[in-house]
Amino acid sequence: MSRKVLAVYPGTFDPMTLGHSDVIRRAAQLFDQVIVGVAAAHHKKTMFTLDERIGMVREVMHDQPNVVVESFSGLLRDFVVGRGAKVVIRGLRAVTDFDYEFQLAGMNRSLMPEVETVFLTPSTSYQFISSTLVREIATLGGEAEKFVDPLVAQRLAEKVRSLGRA
């Protein structure tokens, strides 16, 4: 009897970067199903609405049949356990991410001991990309297109124009 392994990759994806999509594709090769959990992000102001972020992730990942995109709010633990997942995927870009992610993994293990945290690194060409930097570059009129999928670049340009920036 084979057991299907379900993984959750949580984040705000504001916006989704090439690093995010790279990690999702890597995870999709390792696990039977990957749920991309788009966080409502009550704790921070996002550029894109929750629906916009979900839509972008779905469109970018449309070619991955074992990737599902859902929103969640509240504790990650409740979302992961509620879906029956056994793995939480976390992306590590650089050693500077490690301290925070290590603390988070320890807390998650305490809250859900039956779930493992798996760290994946994106391709080296994407390791310096963060959503925060992409938003800042786009807002200040820079070329963010090289850090995001073309669809996301279009949405980002539209959003910046609608906000009256750049």
Active-site residue set: 20, 44, 93, 131
DSSP 125: G
Q: Judge residue 121's burial from the number of C-beta atoms within 10 Å of its C-beta, 0-12 exposed, 13-18 middle, 19 or more buried.
A: middle
Which structure tokens are listed for 97? Answer: 């991410």
Closest CA to 159 of 125, 127, 126, 134: 134
State the virtual CA torsion across 25, 27, 32, 35 in degrees, nearest 10.
Answer: -90
N- to C-terminal Cα distance for the chain? 57
Q: Is 148 helix (H, G, I), strand (E, B) or coil?
A: coil
